[in-house]
Amino acid sequence: MNPTASELATRLHDARLAAHEIQRLTATHPALSVQEAYAVQAEGIRLRESAGEKVVAYKMGLTSEGKRRQMGLNEAIFGVLTDRMQLRAGEPYRLQGRIHPKAEPEIALRISRPLSGVISADEAWSIVDQVAPAIEVLDSRFIGFKYFSLPDVIADNASSSDFLIGRGLAKPSHWKDLESWRLSFTAPQLLSEALGLEISGSPIRSLVDLSRLVQDQGKTVPAGSWVLLGAATPAVALHSGMRVSLSLDCPGGAGQRVELQAL
């Protein structure tokens, strides 16, 4: 591993463990490339795995126009999620140990076969066996959680912190039109509402984009993994006592809800 990638990953790893924000990496390494940033991300995951964590999911980031405008960035990216990042439904989410957590509503898909090599939308849909609502908690390790570059975000594992996946719905063929699914995010007042088409123009495209991105990094997403497809709306800051919920509704009446209580 490139020693620079190792050093930068350790800097981010230590900042996360100490819940202490640090200066963006490109402030001291302005030439950091996207490819080098993914190497930092991979080293950060290796540090987590060496502490006993297991990769269980992947996430897509910067998939909506609202999110791109919020962050001042314009390209889809991916991050890696572990078992210790996965929250359990019904358990309170403790903000202690987080820097500046934000929640966002997402659609999650579970894949029944490995994701290896670039695939088409039809091929992507064929490997999905469950659809579920999900809430992702972001928590950048950088000062202010804004105004940083694409390599900074990638190196920081796409600002990943924690995630909660609701009960999955087995996927019948007539649910293929995820663009028309409605996401309603409340706390308890309505925070945002959007259709699935706000995620990359079509949520399944996030899975296609992930296939390309992981191939570029020489990776394979294992069968049984969940993939969070990216937020349809901008993230909202979490504070103690806040209860956020996401309703994911399919035309025709089928749907699911997931809720997160912050303490």
> How do the domains of the chain map onto residue ranges?
3-261
Rounded to whole angstroms, how far apart are CA atoms 101 and 236?
Answer: 9
Q: Is residue 68 pLDDT above 70, yes or no?
A: no
- The pLDDT tens digits of the residues spanning 30-39 come to 999 999 999 9
> Using one digit for the tens of pLDDT, what is the confidence trace for 133-167?
999 999 999 998 876 789 999 999 999 999 999 98
Helices 3-18 and 34-50 pack at an angle, to 10 degrees, of 60
pLDDT (tens digit, 9 = 90+) per residue, 98-143? 999 999 999 999 999 999 899 999 999 899 999 999 999 999 999 9
pLDDT at 229: 96
As a whole number, mean pLDDT of residues 186-199 equals 91
Confidence of residue 223 (pLDDT cuts 50, 70, 90): very high
DSSP string of 44-71, one letter each residue: HHHHHHHTT--EEEEEEES-SHHHHHHH
Q: Assign domain 3-261 to a CATH class.
A: alpha beta
The structure's pTM equals: 0.93
Cα separation, 65 vs 85, whole angstroms: 26
Q: How does strand 226-231 pair with strand 55-61?
A: parallel
Of residues 254, 256, 221, the one with CA closest to residue 119? 221
pLDDT band, very low/low/confident/very high, at 168 (cuts 50, 70, 90): confident
Dihedral angle computed from the Cα positions of residues 34, 156, 93 and 168, in that order, rounded to the nearest 10 degrees: 30
User: For residues 62 and 229, what is the distance between their CA atoms, to the nearest angstrom?
Assistant: 10
Confidence band for 176, pLDDT divided at 50, 70 and 90: low
Distances (CA, A) of 25 to 28, 49, 154, 164: 6, 23, 11, 28
Contact 181, 105 (CB under 8 A): no
In the chain, what is the straight-line distance between the N-terminal and C-terminal CA atoms, in Å? Answer: 39
**Does position 87 have pLDDT exceeding 70, yes or no?**
yes
Note if the bond before 114 is cis, omega within 30 degrees. no
Confidence band for 211, pLDDT divided at 50, 70 and 90:
very high
